[in-house]
Amino acid sequence: MSYKSDIEIAREAKKRPIQEIGDKLGIPTEHLLPFGHDKAKVSQNFINSVQSNDDGKLILVTAINPTPAGEGKTTTTVGLGDGLNRIGKKAMVCIREASLGPNFGMKGGAAGGGYAQIVPMEDMNLHFTGDFHAITSAHSLLSAMIDNHIYWGNELQIDERRVAWRRVVDMNDRALRDIVCSLGGVSNGFPRQTGYDITVASEVMAILCLSNNLEDLQRRLGDIIVAYTRERTPIYCRDIGADGAMTVLLKDAMQPNLVQTLENNPAFVHGGPFANIAHGCNSVIATKTAMKLVDYVVTEAGFGADLGAEKFMNIKCRKAGIAPSVVVLVATVRAMKMNGGVAKADLGEENVSAVEAGCPNLGRHIENLKSFGVPVVVAINHFVTDTDAEVQAVKDYVGEHGSEAIVSRHWELGSEGSEALARRVAEVADADVASFAPIYPDEMPLFEKIETIAKRIYRADEVLADKKIRQQLRDWEEAGYGNLPVCMAKTQYSFSTDPNLRGAPTGHSVPVREVRLSAGAGFIVVVCGEIMTMPGLPRQPAALTIGLNADGEIEGLF
């Protein structure tokens, strides 16, 4: 039996005009701002008008540590959203936007897969509604205004060596990682060393995704620390005077983007912060607006549950004042097998004992997620090669660990395949058994917050950090930043900081290489490994084969 590719399925989608999708959410025409006929933004005024509505239930989809086998977290998010609609629930999906630049390196991806996708897929991999371009513009304006301030007399006494604000572009361009700017003489300013990150790594992106409204956005933008004086006094974006104009540039980008699933159910696709140096979730404004519009909001967090769900809980939920009613933990038989030591090439063969050997990774995540006070349902994202015995092994394991696993075939069958999962998830959500709380309080000292995550989530024995880093954390506490959550940046492939350590390791150490203050976004980034904020293109970039075919369709992007 042969299966259609994601792009083939997406191109066959019977999309409904976006206003029809908006109608399902009660969004009047004047408040649904179309971008073409299949995308739209929801007006700020409409968002304001629904604030007194009751909140729907929030369902978080997360996953085990990713393996090259693929877990299908987004696919399950979309499939579950369609499944809920199928059983008569008013539900929608909230996921992140894709970054344009990387698509010219490796092939771009679908939002979901198989018969659980969000469309229009091509637009979402290109300019979409321009949000990321707006973020690049706002970031670039601040960059230009900092150097312009220095050029015209440097009244704030910025130390050119201590400009913390780099530049960004939504492109994989390694040549820009490290540059010297302002060369060429007096009229071009004071030469200094700086560099570019990719747009999704911009603090503006994290801020946009954590802001509750435009006022909050502007306040946070103003809070960005852009540079220091020789005396190490911080200079804020507000001092540069860029926060107002940046807010104007971001005004439209703050409005959530409405699109649809293959089954014509509504989805917000909005915001896309890095999952390492930022928190990796779609925007707060999209999630909170969705909760005002439907009874069940299905959303996802980046990477595996140790990073993504932890940040979703400790950063996004804490800051936005929201709480999940249930968490869906996505696993696959194939990924269990890889965790159990099977090589990728051998995944096609039945291997129950390898599945069993890999399950502890899943068990650890179940335990961790429960520690936030939320019930956990495991979704086994079914592959056509999975055998009954393998599936049963996962189910048995999960049952023994105080949870339940449900097979879902949304990839193959759409909502018909996810109905069982949807029924059970809705039941659990409706039971109101969650008593969500972040795993550390605001007032805990910063280093203890890091230790709490390392010990309770990663199951490490200790956190290693030199004196300078510990002193930096204490300095920030004294400066009034002690109440911020911490944003961990480590490998997604393991509970530990060693990407090759699969399963459920214990006894390891978490070395902290660096800490960074994102004062506007409102978190302390804790870097525990190599973090690449500007990718390069590969030897044979995807761009070489991307083009329009004779029918005007895009080839090579997927």
| Inter-residue contact 280 to 273 (CB < 8 Å) | yes
Residues 198-237 that bind its own copies (CB under 8 A): 214, 218
**Contact with its own copies (CB under 8 A): which of 5, 49, 53, 193?**
193
Closest CA to 367 of 444, 424, 440, 306: 306
Determine if 106 is a binding residue for its own copies (CB under 8 A). no
Determine the length of the chain: 558
Candidates 79-87, 112-120, 257-265, 547-555: pick the segment binding its own copies (CB under 8 A): 547-555
Closest CA to 256 of 105, 54, 467, 42: 42
* 74 annotated binding-site participant: yes
* 506 annotated binding-site participant: no
Determine if 444 is a binding residue for its own copies (CB under 8 A). no
Please give the structure tokens belonging to residue 132: 């990321």
Alpha carbon 220 to chain centroid, angstroms:
19
* 72 annotated binding-site participant: yes
**Contact with its own copies (CB under 8 A): which of 106, 183, 389, 431?**
183
Residue with smaller CB distance to its own copies, 34 or 373: 34
Please give the structure tokens belonging to residue 117: 């996708």
Candidates 180-188, 270-278, 397-405, 499-507: pick the segment binding its own copies (CB under 8 A): 180-188
Strand partners, 61: 300, 328
* 247 annotated binding-site participant: no
Q: How far apart are CA 307 and CA 95, in angstroms?
A: 17
Where does 272-370 show beta strands of DSSP type E?
Answer: 296-300, 326-331
**Contact with its own copies (CB under 8 A): which of 50, 87, 169, 439?**
169
Candidates 238-246, 330-338, 371-379, 471-479: pick the segment binding its own copies (CB under 8 A): 238-246
**Contact with its own copies (CB under 8 A): which of 11, 15, 35, 107?**
35
**Contact with its own copies (CB under 8 A): which of 23, 173, 295, 350?**
173
Residues designated as active site: 73, 75, 96, 107, 275, 303, 383, 411
Residue with smaller CB distance to its own copies, 73 or 149: 149
For tokens 């440097």, the residue is 154
Closest CA to 56 of 334, 430, 515, 514: 430
Residue with smaller CB distance to its own copies, 160 or 416: 160
Residues 43-82 that bind its own copies (CB under 8 A): 44-45
Closest CA to 164 of 139, 131, 129, 137: 139
Other C-beta atoms lying within 10 Å of the C-beta of residue 128: 22
Residue 340's identity, in one-letter code, is: G
Residue with smaller CB distance to its own copies, 29 or 385: 29
Q: How far apart are CA 33 and CA 391, in angstroms?
A: 45
Q: How far apart are CA 58 and CA 296, in angstroms?
A: 6
Residues 108-137 that bind its own copies (CB under 8 A): 126-127, 130, 133-134, 136-137
Residues 510-539 that bind its own copies (CB under 8 A): 536-537, 539
Please give the structure tokens belonging to residue 81: 């959203």
Determine if 441 is a binding residue for its own copies (CB under 8 A). no
Q: Cis peptide leading into 120, omega within 30 of 0? A: yes
Closest CA to 95 of 78, 115, 119, 120: 78
Residues 15-34 that bind its own copies (CB under 8 A): 30, 33-34
Taking residues 283 to 322 in sequence order and writing x for each that binds its own copies by CB under 8 A, - otherwise, the string is: ----------------------------------------
Q: How far apart are CA 287 and CA 58, in angstroms?
A: 8
Taking residues 135 to 154 in sequence order and writing x for each that binds its own copies by CB under 8 A, - otherwise, the string is: -xx--xx-xxx-xx--xxx-
* 68 annotated binding-site participant: yes
Give the residue numbers of the binding site for ATP: 67-74
